[in-house]
Amino acid sequence: MNENCYSILNQVISFCTFIPNHDSNAKVFGFSEFLTSAALLIIVFTTADTRYKFRVATVSVDLQRRAFWCLLIVGTLTLLIDIWIAEKFRVLNLSIPSLKIVLEFPSGIVQGILGSVIFFTFLSWARYAFMQPPIFSKGNCKNYANKFIECISFGDKQELSIIAEEFERSIEPILSSTYTFNEFENRGKVNDSNQKYMAYKILQSLNNTRFTETIMKKSPQIAISFLTELKRQNRYDIPMHHFVYKLSREALSNSESKLFDEFRGLTLDKNQKKLVEGKHLEEYSLSSSLYGNYELVKALASKELSPFDIDYLERSKWTEKNWQIYVNAVQVFFQEYLRKTKGLENSLKLTEALTPAFRIVIRSTVNLSSIDGHKKFLLEDEYLKLKHVVYFAESCLDLKDSHIIDEDLKRKAHKILRENETKSDEKNVYLMIVNLIFSTITNASKLKSPGKATSDIYDLIRKHLLPRYRETFSKSDSTIRRLLYKKIYQEISQIKTKPNEKNMSLLGFCLNILYFQLETESKRGIKSKTEERLKYKGSPKINDLRAFDAFHEVVLRLTENNFLNIHNIDPVLANQAIYGQLSFDLNLKTIIYKPVSSNAKSKPIPKNILKVN
């Protein structure tokens, strides 16, 4: 062995070169092994699922760039070593006697080190792809934000579903670290790649219709997690409004959403009862997280993005089931609204969130006249929508006194009606409910064909919205009903000076649901006023009965005194009030009410006859 030795630094370090005698084919990690490892790494990465690519791309360090440089350096060295050994170039032996260190190049140890570099490169990928997936943090905020925005902007539905699941693990740090609106506007000259700015960008990018559709169809638990965390952190001044609004729109419009599952299997009556009692809602449910969060809905409404303000074109595609879910969602929020405000100062005006909700519920029955005269009306969407609205309106009458007790609110409601300030209807809880019931009755008055369909709809409204008395009474119930009587009378009393189709139709509706003979106190089974007051002490039942009787009487007197005059001037207009179970005998000057179930040849009973002057 031809060996040449040298020393430097006063023989502290010495090195020798010699020609090795070992077999040149003996190696630990050569170039062929390197090519196999590199090919395996490339195949694994290129065939990896979107999930693992996303995880690797959102690590705080650039694993792909690091892997490239590792492959380049290791590949170059292994190729050099293979050539060195094959050509039997002189081997370098370096030693430091004082430290007892001996290094030889090339050798099996050097090849083992190069092989371990490739091995640990693979392990680093596996760690972040499988064992320790990255979440949004200060170290990886820029990589995470850029990759996330890229994926939800250009990914297909399958990829969006995966990215949504990955997003769920980072909801808490994103919401906690983002700028508020004021902070973002006043941030000044700061590094736009910091964690707060990147979190803000991610929340802005959630305004993606395909992404929200994917979440509601395939991963609704992600929406619940987001809304629950939002409530826990109580951060509503961050850019989440468009995202939550689109979640609501998708939940209400898509029959496959979790919202439909939460209300599925409940009949109309049972459903309304449970909603009123508030027993069907779980804390970790979509309806509770989205519509049962008063502060969230109020924050959305402040940006003119109320979750109930659904576009008309979208609503035109809704079926009866969609409307059922919609009124249930409104009711969930309405209950929470009343629970939060407790009839104190901030309940004097409805929030901007509830106003569009009631407005849309009111408009849901505008096409009720399309089923006029239909025999199979029970299966018609318009009839089923009416039932949902009626049950919702009835539930509004079941408000507890602990919710709305403010006497000033009642006085303002009466004053508004007295002064005909209709523009203020949407600023008062009582008047909003009155407006809902009044509009439902007005739309029902467009049904004029005699028969079971019209009769059943009248019975539905009579039973639930205009009963003579209710089993349960509250101060709010009594106030709403008296306001309703006043509003109806204001409309129909215009027949004295300005009769038109609307007020005549409404008068006809009232005549259809009221008997023509007033009931006396003795017929009601009330022995004395004093006894009745003692029996219902603290209850408005007596006053409620009197309010109904007064309304009943004034409708009959208004008809008796004005109908014949209108008929003499314009018979066609007068006949707008004669429909359903009503008929008019001009010779006898009598309006006759004959129920559908009665024999056509039988004579009407006295309380079904109204003589007009």
Contact 591, 559 (CB under 8 A): yes
pLDDT at site 239: 94
Q: pTM for the full model?
A: 0.77
In the sheet that 582-585 helps form, which strands lie side by side, from edge to edge?
582-585, 590-593, 609-611
Identify whether the C-beta of residue 166 lies closer than 8 Å to the C-beta of residue 155.
Answer: no
**Residue with token string 């879910």:** 325
**Measuring CA to CA, which residue among 474, 542, 544 is closest to residue 276?**
474
Tens of pLDDT, residues 282-292: 556 888 899 98
589: exposed, middle or buried (C-beta count within 10 Å: 0-12, 13-18, 19+)?
Answer: middle
Confidence label for 483 from pLDDT (cuts 50, 70 and 90): confident
For the ranges 21-30, 257-266, 307-316, 545-554, the lowest mean pLDDT is seen at 21-30
Q: Residue 611's beta-bridge partner residues?
A: 590
Closest CA to 215 of 171, 185, 180, 181: 171
Sole residue written with tokens 């990690």: 29
Average pLDDT, whole number, for the chain?
A: 78
Return the bridge partners of 6, or none: 15
Instruction: Give how far Cα 523 sits from Cα of 459, 467, 528, 608, Å.
Output: 22, 17, 12, 17
Torsion of CA 470, 471, 473, 476, to 10 degrees: -50
Gyration radius from the chain CA atoms:
39
Q: What does the pLDDT read at residue 33?
A: 81
Residue 260, helix vs strand vs coil: helix
The secondary structure element, H or E, covering residue 481 is helix 475-492
Report the first-to-last Cα separation within the chain, whole angstroms: 139
What pLDDT, in 10s, does the model give residues 569-588? 999 999 999 988 888 988 88
Q: How far apart are CA 205 and CA 193, in angstroms?
A: 16
Q: Is the pLDDT of residue 410 over 90?
A: no
Q: Nearest 5°: phi and psi at 536?
A: -110, 45
What are φ and ψ of residue 188, in 5° steps?
70, -150
C-alpha–C-alpha distance, residues 271 and 275, integer Å? 6
Which residues fall within 8 angstroms of residue 265, CB to CB, at 6 or more apart? Answer: none
Q: Does the CA dihedral 208-213-219-222 come out positive or negative?
A: positive
Task: Give Cα separations from 293 to 65, 241, 249, 336, 560 (angstroms).
Answer: 46, 14, 16, 7, 51
Cis peptide before 239 (omega within 30 of 0): no
* CA-wise closest residue to 481 among 468, 463, 494: 468
Burial of 454 (C-beta count, 10 Å sphere; 0-12/13-18/19+): buried
Determine the pLDDT at residue 247.
94
User: Please, which residues have CB within 8 angstroms of residue 605's CB and are 6 or more apart in sequence?
Assistant: none
Nearest to 165 by CA among 339, 40, 26, 49: 49
Beta-ladder partners of 5: 16
Q: What is the structure's pLDDT at 109?
A: 72
Q: Taking the domains of the chain in order of start, what are their residue ranges?
A: 3-131
Arithmetic mean of pLDDT, 328-347: 72
CB 611 within 8 A of CB 590: yes
Which residues, 6+ apart, have CB-to-CB distance to 68 below 8 Å?
A: none
Res 202: pLDDT? 95
The answer on pLDDT for 550 being more than 60 is: yes
Q: Predicted confidence band at 523 (pLDDT cuts at 50, 70, 90)?
A: very low
pLDDT > 50? residue 537: no
Closest by CA position to 540, among listed 478, 462, 472, 453: 478
- Compute the distance between CA of residue 172 and CA of residue 315 in angstroms, rounded to an integer: 34
How confident is the model at residue 204, as a pLDDT? Answer: 94
pLDDT in tens, 429-467: 778 888 899 999 999 888 888 777 788 888 888 888 887
Q: 411 falls in which pLDDT band (50, 70, 90)?
A: low
Give the burial class of 486: count Cβ atoms within 10 A of its Cβ; 0-12 exposed, 13-18 middle, 19 or more buried. middle
**Rounded alpha-carbon distances, angstroms, from residue 336 to 115, 296, 297:** 64, 11, 10
DSSP code of residue 284: T
Q: What is the pLDDT of residues 105-149, one digit of tens each?
A: 666 777 788 888 888 888 887 777 777 889 999 889 999 999 999
Note the Cα 1 to chain centre separation in Å: 84
Rounded mean pLDDT, 286-315: 90
Whether 572 and 524 have beta carbons less than 8 Å apart is answered as: no
The pLDDT-based confidence of 348 (bands split at 50, 70, 90) is very low
DSSP output for 494-532 = GGGT---HHHHHHHHHHHHHS-SSPPPTTTTT---HHHH
Q: Give the percent of the chain with pLDDT over 70.
A: 73
Among candidates 232, 125, 130, 132, which has minimal Cα distance to 172? 232
Percent of the chain exceeding pLDDT 90 equals: 26
Nearest residue to 315 (alpha-carbon basis) of 259, 350, 356: 356
Q: Would you say residue 343 has pLDDT above 80?
A: no
> What is residue 22's predicted lDDT score, i.e. its pLDDT?
55
